[in-house]
Structure 1
Amino acid sequence: MQASNSPSLTRSQLATELGVSVFTLNQWAVSGKGPKAIRVGRQSVYRREDIDAYKATISSTESTPAPVSQPIGSYMMRLPEVLSLSGLSKSSIYAMSKAGEFPASVKLGSRAVGWPSHMVMQWLNDRMGNVA
């Protein structure tokens, strides 16, 4: 590919080379992730050295994540069910999660979270053990 031998790449050329979208590269640029971009007028370009350095860092830190193991029958509880089972308020759930006193939520989508049912049930069982 011609783009891989050139001294600098445009954002769209880099997106093709890395296999990500231009939107993703825009987000990386805003958040300071990815290879360092250089502004040339109104366009961002990427030097080959910076691209290679970035690729080296992601290949050295990249590993296959371990599959998440949940007990059979476990599912993701949504907030109304967690509130109903725990008897706590929404603000208490989030405050306790932040303090590490309640299982942390798992991001399911851009505006959705859930709690692994086995973790919530274990938390409830632990609380019941403290009462007796």
Structure 2
Amino acid sequence: MEDIDDRFLRIGEVTRKTGRSRAAIYRMIADGNFPKQEKIGVRAVGWRLSAIMSWMEAPKQFFAPPT
């Protein structure tokens, strides 16, 4: 992956970048199909830009294997 500014994105930026709704993102996290958020403050979470970009390049790598 090329050198990028690996900053934290808040949920609004994640929804705009991925085109997925907030509910869909949290549902995919619960299913293991989307990168988990990281705690960045007492009451704040965010996603690393690199994790979102990786998911966008190959979203199927995050899919949980069938059971």
Structure with a larger share of its residues in helix:
1
For 2:15, which of 77, 83, 90 is the aligned residue? 83
Mark the runs of 5 or more structure 1 residues left unpaired by the alignment.
1-70, 128-132
Deviation at 1:110, TM superposition (A): 2.2
Larger radius of gyration: 1
Greater RCO (CA < 8 Å, at least 6 residues apart) = 2
Q: Do residues 73 (structure 1) and 5 (structure 2) align?
A: yes
In structure 1, C-alpha distance between the alignment counterparts of 2:18 and 2:11, rounded to whole Å: 10
- Secondary structure at 1:88's aligned position in 2? coil
Residue matched to 1:93: 25
State the identity as a percent.
37
Q: TM (normalized to structure 1)?
A: 0.40
| Structure 2, gaps ≥5 residues long | 60-67
Residue matched to 2:35: 103
Greater than 2 Å deviation, 4+ residue runs: none
Paired residues of 2:6 and 2:50 also in contact (CA < 8 A): yes
Return closer, same or farther for 1:73/1:110 CA change in 2, 3 Å cut-off. Answer: same
When the two structures are superposed, what TM-score results if normalisation uses the length of structure 2? 0.76
Q: How many residues align?
A: 57
